[in-house]
Structures are given as C-alpha cells and as structure tokens.
A and B are shown apart, each in its own frame.
Chain A
Amino acid sequence: MSTETIKKSAYRVCETTGLNIFKKAEFFTKANAVLAVIFLLIGGIAALTLALTRWSNVMLLDDVWYYRMITLHGTNMLVFWIIFFEMAILYFASTTLLNTEVFSKALGYISLVLMSVGAIMTNYIILDGQADVMLTSYPPLQAHPLFYLGIILFAVGALVVCFNFFATLYKAKKNKTYEGSMPLVTFGATTAAIIAVVALLHGAAALIPTYFWSMGWAEMMDPGAYRLLWWGLGHHSQQINVAAMVSVWYFIATLSTGAKPLNETVCRGAFILYILFINLAAAHHLLVDPGLSSEWKIWNTSYAMYLAVLASMIHGYTVPASMEVAMRRKGYNKGIFGWFAKLPWKDPGFSAVALSAIIFGFIGGITGVTLGTEQINIMAHNTLRIPGHFHATVVGGTSLAFMGLCYYLVPLIFQKDFYLKKLARIQPWLFGGGIVIMSFGMSFAGTYGVPRRLYDSDFSGANLETGFDSIAHIFLGVLGVGGVIAFTGLLLFIGLIVAAVFFGPSLKGKRMPTWQSEREQKMTDELISKGYEVEGEDYHAKTPGTIGLVIIFLLSFAIYYFANWAALTDLWHIG
C-alpha cells in the first residue's frame, strides 16, 4: 500500500472543517470562481437591458441592440458564467474531499488560458456586431468565425478540466488517499463531469463543422442535424447545472445544518439515473421540428419514462429530509413543520440553497416536464413560456445555489470575511424573489403566445397588423419589474463578493465566523463531528414535515400538468 508523500507546504488545514486544502487546486478553484463572476456581471448587465426592453412601456434598447444583447446575455450566462463556476466546483470536490492534490497544474493553466481566451473572443465579436445570431446560432444564420472559435476554445478548455478531474479521481483511488467510497458531494460532481463530457463533445460536433462553414472551408450542416447536435451541448449543459446544483444542496445542507444523507444508496442511485437518462431530454427542443419521429420524440423527451425526473424528485425529498432529521436531533421537534421554521434562514448560504430547491422544484421542474411533453409543446414552442421555465431552473435554481455556495466559499477558500452581513442575509431573497416574479411575467405572457427573443411585441411596421391584448403587456411589465429586482439582487451579490474577496478582513488562521448564532453553530458542529458514528440511528428517522412538503409538490405538479392537457383541447386539431 503506497501513500503519497505530501509536502507540508503543499496544503493547509482548514481551521473550520479540518479538511486539507491543497494549494494548486485552491488556486484553480479561486481563478475559475473569479472569472465566473466577471462573466456573470456582463451577462447580468445585458439582462437588465433586455428586461427593460421587453417591458413594452420602457423599450430601452433599439432593435439591433436588443438582438445583440440577447446573444451576449445567453452566451455569458448559459456558457461562460456557469461553466467557469462548475470548473471551480470540480477542482474542490476532487481534491479537498478526496484528500489529494490535483493531477496536473500544467493542464490547469492550459485550460484556464483556453477558456479565458475563448470567452473574451466570443464576447468581443458579439459586441462588435458580427454575431447577432443568438447563443444558438442556428444555420443558415451565420456569425463571424470568431464567435464559433471562442466557444470551441472554451469547450476544449472545459474538457481539459474534466480530464484533470477524472485523472485526479484516479490518482486519489490509486494512492489510497481516502478510505471507503468517495463522499456524496464528490459523487455528484462526478455526475456533473460525466454529463459535461457528453455536452462538450456535442458542442464540438455542432460547432467545429459550423466554424469551418463560416470560414468557407465546408458546406453548411443540415439545419435539422445542427439543432440536434447543438442542443446536445445546449441542453446537456443544463443537466451539468442540475447535477452541480444538487451537489451544492447536499454540501450546504451539511455545513449549515449538520445534515447527513439518510441513505447513500438512494442519493447515489438518483445521481446514476441522471448519468444514464437526463441527457435524453434535449429532445424537448425538437418536439415540433420536422424530420424526427414521434417515437424518438416521446421516448427521449420523457427521459426514458421520466426516470431522470424520478431522480430529481428523490433529491427533492432526501435533501430536506436530511435537514429535518438533523433539526429534530438538535431538539426542534415541535409539530410537523416546527423544524422548518427553525432552519437557519438568516444564513445566506442556507437560504439561497433552500430557495434554490423550492424555485427549481415548484416552478422550474414542473413547468419543464410539462412544456417538454410532445403535445403540450405545440402551445409553448418558442413562446415566452420557455424562458419563464428556464430562468426558474438555471437562475432561480442553479445560479442561486452557486451564490449560496459563495457565502461559504469566500470565507473558507478565499479566507476573507464579508462586510455588510445584514445585506448579505437578504440578498438571496431579493434575487430569488425577483427571478420568481420575472418568471411569472414571462410564463403568463407566453400563454398568450408572446414569442421569446422578440424585440417588439406590437409588431410595429409589419405589413399585416397584429398584436396582443393589453393583459399580455401587463405581464411583460411584470417581467420587467421582476428583472429589475433580480438585477438589484445580482449587483448586491457581486458587490458583496468583490468587497470581501479584495478588501475583506483576512480570516487566515481563524475559524469562519458563523452566519448563525454561536449556539446553533455549536450544535451543527457536533452533528458534523459525529460523522457516520450514529449511522444506525437514522434508519428509522421520521420525516413527516418533508413528506408533507413533497406531497404538496406532487399535487401541484399533477394540477399544473393536467391543466395544460385540458388547455390543449382548445387548439385546432393538428397532426
């Protein structure tokens, strides 16, 4: 049995958790997180201008800049912000949690350069007005070659990080740097990395030939085939987001409440359902496309009989259930929901994660599965219902969870304390609340048929006049108001993070100051230190509160789902 000799200077011991933080991995975690937030800011400013343009009474931008800003917003948010942040998670989960240094510093630098150059390149060419093609860049629409090249370089860089991640996992196992199985959070990160590999390979398949076409070296790809391959990047990357978000839920649940997974088999089984089936649902972008059969559409859009949806519903139970058990063990046993009220809602790491789970589940998940049924999609394709759905999942779900993670990442990894903690405590509510309002505005406007990615909802200048009822415009106003609130929450987040990281008081050599009361933190620490000692006790733990919550969820799901089928019957017959 060989053990890797670890130089004393190659790692530090975290004063709060006792875990080893390895210097090289720590650098890459920080670098990717900082870059992520830079592109979040660019994407966020674009978002504000868009919200104020769709709000028909304001119409801030002109048509050229509106379409340009959508391209800028989509690319920065769905690709650069979120994948950079996920790379940071991969570095952390494969090293600190497995007690090993990252496999290769050189590969780390190469990927950092590739991803940064790619992101800057694409941003530049969009702002230069040579890529007004939306993030999706559907041929025959053609962008300047640098648009594609930038995304390709970014994707290659991300693949290198994934390789580094798997190599680190292999090295850790070989050198036996840990006993037993990898922790659940690392397993979730592995799920994300596997999905990332599939997504990035699809991106290469869609964009490399398209890049060649833009250079005049090859014929245009069939537009139907392009859509299939591109959504292999576009939607599969959302599934990276889901897996990473759920891993963050488990991580923060442990750190903020002392929760531990009630049954590792169930949680890991759910992640495996993601690995096998979650990517199939990219098909829901193609449900009303020509060229694909109903069999293909129905099988794939159902995630193979909704097995991946089952996985999400499982996590939707196990995460709050683990917290209910932890809370009850701390003595919060009053009634069915007493523990729920006593959760650390003032801890922004916790509240962001809790809001993320609620928003993702109730709004994002339910609308996504419903809109992704072949027939209901006829009422929804390319309407604002679609952004209404995905802002709840990607923004209210994943991005909000990542923000919550930062409230622990900054003190633990950057070792800096926050200023204005009162504002930090409300930030998740402000951002989450704004996104929910905006999502409602989008979804209701979309039910009237208001298209997504559309500059002028009055169609001014069209030869044949048309427009929407004033009620649709009211909902566009709701969209605008929600967007402004969310942007305020976003700006607050970035301000707090930047102030802490660059100017905050140093926490070197100190424990992280708790976001909760000292008494709460002590009870949480006690639970965490017990680790798996009291494994047997939880087998029969009662979770009536969580059962109540998930039953409410299931009923909401059923009501929304069947209401949509009922609405479908009002449509003309089509087939």
Chain B
Amino acid sequence: MSIFHPKGNWFRYPTGAERLWVGLALAWCLVMSITMPWWHFQGKQNAPQNSYTVEVSDFVGKAFEFAETNKVGEINGVPVAEVEPGGDGYLLGSMWRWYPILKLKKDQTYRIHVSSSDLQHGLSILPINMNIHVLPGYDHVMTITPTTSGEFSIVCNEFCGIGHHTMTGRIIVEE
C-alpha cells in the first residue's frame, strides 16, 4: 500500500506492461528532445538569438534618431519610419505606446532592436501572434523577415501600469 512500509529488499526492475510503457514514454521524450535543437538549425522561427546590455537613455536617443532620419509619414501623431531592407530598425516600448510605426517590405530581412524606456513590456505582433519579452537596459535584437503583407498591430502583453491596455503600435508591410 502507498501508506505502508515496503520491507527488506524491494528493489525490482520494471516488468511487463509497466516496462513497455516506460519504454514508449522514454522514446517520446527523446523525440521531443530532438525537435528543439533540430528546429534551431533547420527552422525559420526561433527565439531571437542576439541581445546586449544598453544604457536606457542611449537606446531612447537612438530610437528617436532612427524615427527622425527614416520618417516617411505619420499616423495619429506617431512617426512612420521605413527600415532599409537588410538594415537596422528600432522599436521602443514606453508607458504607453510602441514607437515608432515601422514600415517594412515583405520577404526582406531586418534587424529590429527592441527595448524599453521604463518598465518591462511584452511585444506582441497581431494577428500573426508573435511575442517577445522586452526589458529596460537590454537591446533585444529580433531578426525578422515578414512573410505576409498588410497592416499589423502591436500590443503590449506584460503588465506595465494602469495604461497597459492602451499600449499599442503598428507595423506596415508592403509587397
């Protein structure tokens, strides 16, 4: 019984159905163990591989500079900044907006530097549902290639104060 004491030498290797199941379960675990590293090398969707420490003020400065230099428009007072294909862009999470709006081209690759000017934030691109975590003091570089075009929303999915549910942004992807 699970409440009684096994006495003497009770050690025994698994037998019968128990052994069969342990074998099957172990095989499944090994299959799962292979998929992550395999996808790491073969798959096109992986967690961002590069990040660095930064001074918050340096990042904020660079983000504004980038938005100014690459500005091609404005929506509701937020600058739209076009990123050069193969180049670097910035996305700054602040209480309570994503800055700037990014303009990208489909099937081009970009290095987008993501950070926060204040609290922790969660970058969530909708409706494709792509999510990464954003920390102040960390330059989280996501190397992305949009495979679909259109207008995409960014929302914040890490609680960042009372305005959290108004913190949105946008990404525009042209053909």
Q: Which of B25, B75, B170 contacts A554 (CB 8 A)?
A: B25
Residue of A nearest to B112 (CB): A574
Instruction: Verify if A381 is at the interface (C-beta below 8 Å from B).
Output: yes
Complex alpha-carbon distance, A187 and B170, angstroms: 54
A-B contact pairs, 11 of them (CB 8 A): A251-B2, A251-B3, A253-B2, A254-B1, A306-B32, A381-B122, A447-B129, A449-B155, A459-B155, A547-B20, A575-B47
Instruction: Verify if A561 is at the interface (C-beta below 8 Å from B).
Output: yes
Chain A proximity of B101: nearest CB distance (Å): 8
- Over the window 121-157 of chain B, the binary record of Cβ atoms lying under 8 Å from chain A Cβ atoms (1 yes, 0 no) is 0101111111111011111101111111000010111
Instruction: Verify if B71 is at the interface (C-beta below 8 Å from A).
Output: no
Chain B proximity of A332: nearest CB distance (Å): 18
Task: List chain A residues, Cβ under 8 A from B4.
Answer: 183, 260, 531-532
Task: List chain B residues, Cβ under 8 A from A183.
Answer: 1-6
Chain A proximity of B145: nearest CB distance (Å): 4
Beta-carbon contacts under 8 Å, B34-81 to A: 35-37, 39-40, 43-49, 51, 75-78
Task: Check B159–A134 contact: CB distance below 8 A.
Answer: yes
Task: Check B136–A453 contact: CB distance below 8 A.
Answer: no
> Which of under 10, 10 to 19, 20 to 34, or 35 or more describes the interface residues of B?
35 or more
Complex alpha-carbon distance, A456 and B167, angstroms: 11
Task: Check B138–A463 contact: CB distance below 8 A.
Answer: no
Instruction: Verify if A373 is at the interface (C-beta below 8 Å from B).
Output: yes
At the interface with chain B, which of A37-45, A310-318, A486-494, A512-520? Answer: A310-318
What does DSSP make chain B's interface, helix, strand, loop or mixed? mixed
Binding site for A on B (CB under 8 A): 1-8, 10-18, 20-22, 24-26, 28-30, 32-33, 35-37, 39-40, 43-49, 51, 75-78, 97, 101, 109, 118-120, 122, 124-133, 135-140, 142-148, 153, 155-162, 164-170
Complex alpha-carbon distance, A261 and B144, angstroms: 52
Task: Check A141–B120 contact: CB distance below 8 A.
Answer: yes
Task: List chain A residues, Cβ under 8 A from B76.
Answer: 463-464
Beta-carbon contacts under 8 Å, A268-305 to B: 286-291, 294, 297-298, 301-302, 305
Task: Check B47–A532 contact: CB distance below 8 A.
Answer: no
5 additional contacts (CB under 8 A) given A63-B162, A539-B16? A183-B5, A223-B137, A375-B47, A378-B131, A554-B24
Beta-carbon contacts under 8 Å, A492-550 to B: 528, 531-532, 539-544, 546-547, 550
Instruction: Verify if A128 is at the interface (C-beta below 8 Å from B).
Output: no
Task: List chain B residues, Cβ under 8 A from A547.
Answer: 17, 20-21
Instruction: Verify if A31 is at the interface (C-beta below 8 Å from B).
Output: no
Task: Check A379–B130 contact: CB distance below 8 A.
Answer: yes
Task: List chain A residues, Cβ under 8 A from B166.
Answer: 459-463
Complex alpha-carbon distance, A207 and B158, angstroms: 20
Complex alpha-carbon distance, A557 and B28, angstroms: 10
Task: Check A185–B17 contact: CB distance below 8 A.
Answer: no
Task: Check B130–A574 contact: CB distance below 8 A.
Answer: yes
Q: With contacts A223-B136, A318-B18, A571-B45 known, is A382 near B36, CB below 8 A?
A: no
Task: List chain B residues, Cβ under 8 A from A570.
Answer: 128
Q: With contacts A265-B14, A288-B132, A310-B29 known, is A180 near B8, CB below 8 A?
A: yes
Complex alpha-carbon distance, A185 and B1, angstroms: 9
Complex alpha-carbon distance, A140 and B7, angstroms: 55
Task: List chain B residues, Cβ under 8 A from A259.
Answer: 2
